[in-house]
Structure 1
Amino acid sequence: MTEYPVIDDPNVFHAACEALAAGTGPVAVDVERASGFRYSQRAYLVQVFRRDAGVFLFDPPALGDFAPLQTAIGDVEWVFHAASQDLPSLRELDLEPRTLFDTELASRLLGHDRVGLAAVVEEVLGITLKKEHSAADWSTRPLPDSWLDYAALDVLYLVDVRDRLAEELEESGKTEFAAQEFAATLAQPPRPPRDDPWRRLSGLHQVKGARNLAVARALWEAREQYAQQQDTSPGRLVPDRSLVAAVLANPQSKHALAGVQAFNGRASRSELDRWWDAIVRGRESDDLPRARVSSDALPPARAWAERNPEADARLKLARPAVEAVAEELHMPTENLLKPEMLRRVAWTPPELTTDAVATALTALGARPWQIEQTTQKIVDAFVEAGQTPDPGLASES
């Protein structure tokens, strides 16, 4: 039997919260979801560790109210590995840290070659973790003992890792870099809903014509509604490829739809009326979608030489300059400055001064430490691109 039982009783939960409140130092926190199995991204297990308290595994569906846990640990630092993945699920439970430390992000800033939890624990502490249940269906009840042991290990060593990485950050002069990144992670607002999310259907590029796109949209909406009702991942009901296959087959009756071999999935036949009604609704819709939608996305860099040669020249000089700074700092370039930010200022540059470029990067979401490290290099590269045009730049890939 596992030494880490799931806590689903309110009395035991309150006792665990009292133990955590009496513990010392930061708390390690992790969440297990049922991504790929359930429609929602809710937490099905919350793991917490604190020194002098121990590891506790909490069952959110059974407990419901997590206010006692927030009270117990809300004022101390929470340690995560990839905090941005767990914060939305925790916030659904009204669990919110005031400060955090992200061991994955710290590992990136320190230039570690591998930043997965098992790799970081092994590199920093010399302890090998098995990651065999990371893609499991954590909505399963009862949870197998082996899964619970795995879940406990996700937090058991995390505070020790945090302390070692904090030392590395201090030694490398990156403590402030990390502090700004952690604060930005905590302050990151939820992603706004996508416009026309049905356009993310895999294989939709095969569908031609507004009327057929309307059918694809109606099928996607019908599947989404049913998946939400069943709390099941949409693709487990009917895969994207099957919805697209139904559109392309253009069946003229419900019986013909049932005969489309490529229209499969566990709900493809049991909910046949639902899918046929969606096809009819799409065919009769007066609201026909546009074949193409406007976007503020920049063209791919390979097209810049033809479409905006001045921007192409700026990017081709600024990109290696930023990469060189990242190499000096021993971190991935994308953690020094997101490539999209550099492309944006290269495509439509502000006045070529450090203040103007810094303002533009700030508006794009760059942190002060990133701006301090890169702004002058970007300005110098842009000025050079404008003053000494190289005919070879436009022909480079």
Structure 2
Amino acid sequence: MAVHFHEEDLPAGVLAGDAPLAVDTETMGLVTRRDRLCIVQISDGGEDEHLVRFAPDSDYAAPNLKALLADTNRVKLYHFARFDLAAIEHYLGVTAAPVFCTKIASKLTRTYTDRHGLKNLVEELLGENLSKQQQSSDWGGADINEAQRDYAASDVRYLHRMREILITRLEREGRTEMAQACFDFLPTRARLDLAGWEEHDIFHHS
């Protein structure tokens, strides 16, 4: 297993094929339009993870990465896709779909708990411990240390295996169709966030 670090784009030909892609982002904060995109993590479920780091003055050209993210033949796996989709669309200008979100799948199947964080899922579904120590670190610095790199890579390392388990649970509970409808709506939900409706439920009566 190796973590590959790239500046501004993926090398050509990396992650070829049609396997689903696990995707995550690291930003300077949680306000997408204010807090710039610093890193995109991506994996095809093999032994390696790839991190693409963007400089403060980046133009976010990244043609190879964008082509992968925009490929409608490859499912993109996320944990809390709503945030990552918005960051990718705002900074990279592509819709990184179709989508499978492990957080939504968890909420639709693990109704016996309110613990739906990535760490919680990895521990329960896979029996592994996921450190979140670097979660609030500075992703915009000149140097990204080994602890940060491993943390970032771990955010995509487990998504393929968890997806398979969650697919089985969705089928067991008769919620596959409902989950897919949620996944299909997520790019629009992200656009609503970017357009200013992040705190407003436009489906609510009031």
TM-score of the pair, normalised by structure 1:
0.45
Distance in 1 separating the partners of 2:101 and 2:151: 20
> What residue in structure 1 maps to residue 131 of structure 2?
130
Q: Alignment partner of 2:16: what SS?
A: helix
Matches within 5 A, 1:17-32: 18-22=13-17, 24-32=18-26
Alignment-mate amino acid for residue 42 of structure 2:
V
Matches within 5 A, 1:167-246: 167-188=168-189, 189-191=191-193, 192-193=195-196
If asked which structure has higher relative contact order (CA below 8 Å, sep 6+), I would say 2
Higher percent of residues as strand = 2
Distance in 2 separating the partners of 1:187 and 1:168: 26
> What residue in structure 1 maps to residue 67 of structure 2?
71
Alignment-mate amino acid for residue 102 of structure 2:
T
> What residue in structure 2 maps to residue 14 of structure 1?
11
Larger Rg: 1
After TM superposition, give the deviation of residue 95 of structure 1 in Å.
3.3
> What residue in structure 1 maps to residue 143 of structure 2?
142
Deviations 1:193-230 (A, max 9, x none): 48xxxxxxxxxxxxxxxxxxxxxxxxxxxxxxxxxxxx
Correspondent of 1:59 among 53, 56, 72: 53
Deviations 1:158-184 (A, max 9, x none): 111111101110111000110111112
Unaligned runs of 5+ in 1: 195-296, 298-337, 348-397
> What residue in structure 2 maps to residue 108 of structure 1?
107
Deviations 1:350-389 (A, max 9, x none): xxxxxxxxxxxxxxxxxxxxxxxxxxxxxxxxxxxxxxxx
Identity %: 27
Change (3 A) 1:125 1:38: closer
Distance in 2 separating the partners of 1:63 and 1:5: 22
Unaligned runs of 5+ in 2: none
> What residue in structure 2 maps to residue 154 of structure 1?
155
After TM superposition, give the deviation of residue 136 of structure 1 in Å.
1.4
Distance in 2 separating the partners of 1:25 and 1:180: 21
Change (3 A) 1:66 1:94: farther
RMSD: 2.7
TM-score of the pair, normalised by structure 2:
0.83
Distance in 2 separating the partners of 1:63 and 1:51: 29
> What residue in structure 1 maps to residue 82 of structure 2?
84
Alignment-mate amino acid for residue 159 of structure 1:
H
Higher percent of residues as helix = 1
Moved over 6 A (4+): 36-39
CA contact (8 A) 1:37 1:137 kept: no
Change (3 A) 1:126 1:72: same
Distance in 1 separating the partners of 2:143 and 2:104: 33
Distance in 2 separating the partners of 1:103 and 1:126: 16
CA contact (8 A) 2:76 2:98 kept: yes
